[in-house]
Amino acid sequence: MKIVGVAACTVGIAHTYIAQEKLENAGKKAGHEIHIETQGTIGTENELTQKQIDEADIVILAVDVKIAGRERFEGKRIIQVSTEIAVKSPNKLIEKAVEVVNQKK
C-alpha cells in the first residue's frame, strides 16, 4: 500500500518531526511505502510530489493547524488526526489506514 501524509503541529517544531518519524517507521515496519511531508516553522520539508499523491491509496494528515496545499488531496481517502495520536499510536493509525483502504475495495 502507498501512503502519503502531512505532519504539522501548532508550534511547528517537535511534534511535527516526531509524528513524521513515527508514522514513517510504523508504515515501513508494516511493509508499506510511506512519505510524510512536514510543515513547520522552517517551512515545508520532504514536499510530496504530485506523482506520490496520485499513486497514494490513502492520505494521513497528522495536523493541529491549518496546512498549506490541502487541496492537493482532493478526491483521495483522508484520515485526519492530531499529531499527538500519530506520536502515541502510529501503528494503530497505520492499521486504521489499511482498514479504510480495504473497506473501499
**Rounded distance between C-alpha atoms, residue 16 and residue 28, angstroms:** 18
- The catalytic residue positions are 9
* Beta partners for residue 4, in sequence order: 35, 59
Distance CA 35, CA 53 (A): 9
> ∠28-32-35 over CA atoms, to 5°?
75
Residue 73 DSSP class: G
State the DSSP H helix or E strand holding residue 49, giving kind and residue range, or none if neither: none
